[in-house]
Structure 1
Amino acid sequence: MNFYVSEKHKRSGKQKAILATLLVIGIIAAAVWVFIASESMDHKTLSVIVVLLFTKHLPSAYRNIKNHDSSYPIVAIIESENKIDISHKGAVVSMPLSDIESLRIQSIKGNVKSLLLTTKSFSDLRFEGYENLAEMAALLKKHTPAGKIKNATWYHR
């Protein structure tokens, strides 16, 4: 069964990235204004440092906004072949379901919000924002060792 990230989650992440970028641009603009308006050398030096520190993040923020929709992997749980395939931008990573060491299901008000999967091969995998997370949790529960499944009601981001 294939699992895709929901459009709502993608849209929310993109909005957060845009707001963070606008905040950085606002801080840069304020620092430039301080540089122009201030007569104190200390203020000018501090504003130049702020501009230099924040400007270096703008190219990565632009790439993050531009490539946001394609930055989520597709997860396929194939029970007949006893494996999980995680595909992202043409690359596919496979892991046997027998490598699952523990599963933490994080939920709020009965709705599954994220899954934390500890495996032998990849250490920790986090699945958040996917459609049908409850179904994914049910499939992964089948292959998780007894006593290694935790239902967390406290949601950790």
Structure 2
Amino acid sequence: MIFQISEDHKHSEKRKTILAALFLISIVAGAIWTFTTSETLYPKALSAIVALLLARHLPGAYKNIMNHELSYPTANISEPQNKIEISHKGTVISIPLSDIESLRIQSVKGKVKSLLLNTKSFSDLRFEGYEI
């Protein structure tokens, strides 16, 4: 069985990331506006600190939006070979089925919601938003 991320989940997560980035930009813009319009020292200092602390997260938010499609691994459960392969960006991690304590496929209305893996070495892995 090959599990890949669903398109609905990709779009939903990308929308959440874009909305969070827009919210961050609006707070930084408000802090800059407060800095330029206030006349006393306290609001200027507070708005400068807020703008500097939040503006440092903007490059990371941009990177997350641009690389969003590439950030999801693919899980392949192969019973004949007795292993689970998790591949991401050309790297493949192979876990023998004997190392897995439990594997649960959570579904809602017949659609896969998430995969839960409990292994001896990695403890818990959760793949959310996947489909067969």
TM-score, normalised on structure 1?
0.78
Give every structure 1 segment of 4 or more consecutive aligned residues whose post-TM-superposition deviation is greater than 6 Å. Answer: none
* Structure in which a larger fraction of residues adopt strand: 2
2 CA distance for matches of 1:97 and 1:119? Answer: 9
Question: Quick one: structure 1 residues 91 and 97, their matched pair in 2 at CA, closer, same or farther if it must change by over 3 Å?
Answer: same
Distance 2:83 2:36 in 1: 60
Match of 1:24 in 2: 24
Closer/same/farther in 2, CA of residues 28 and 21 from structure 1, 3 Å limit: same
Find the counterpart in structure 2 of residue 75 from structure 1.
Answer: 75
User: Which residue is 2:36 aligned to?
Assistant: 36
- Distance (whole Å) between structure 2 residues aligned to residue 107 and residue 11 of structure 1: 19
Bigger drift between 57-66 and 106-115 goes to 106-115
Query: Separation in 2 of the partners of 1:107 and 1:130?
Result: 10
1:61 & 1:107 partners in 2: Cα distance? 31
Structure 1 residue 37, shift from structure 2 partner: 1.2
Verify the 8 A CA contact 1:95 1:121 in the aligned structure 2.
Answer: no
Q: How high is the TM-score relative to the length of structure 2? A: 0.92
Q: How far has the Cα of 1:42 moved from its partner? A: 0.6
User: Per the alignment, in what secondary structure is the counterpart of residue 130 of structure 2?
Assistant: coil
**Residues 112, 75 of structure 1: alpha-carbon distance in 2 compared, 3 angstrom cutoff:** closer
| Equivalent residue runs for 1:134-149 within 5 Å | none
Change (3 A) 1:67 1:58: same
Equivalent residues in 2 for 1:66-105 (5 A)?
Answer: 66-104=66-104
Number of matched pairs? 132
Rounded to whole Å, the distance in 2 between the matches of 1:85 and 1:110 is: 24
* CA distance, structure 2, for counterparts of residue 15 and residue 85 of structure 1: 29
Corresponding residue number in structure 2 for 1:141: none
In structure 1, runs of 5+ residues without a counterpart are 133-157
Compute the displacement of 1:121 (Å): 2.1
How many Å separate the matches in 1 of 2:7 and 2:16?
Answer: 14
- Residues 62 and 34 (structure 1 numbering): CA distance in 2 closer, same or farther, change over 3 Å? same
Deviation at 1:122, TM superposition (A): 1.5
**Conservation of the 8 A alpha-carbon contact between 1:104 and 1:117:** yes
RMSD between superposed Cα atoms in Å: 1.6
Shift in Å at residue 79 of structure 1? Answer: 0.7
Distance in 2 between the 1:50 and 1:73 partners? 35
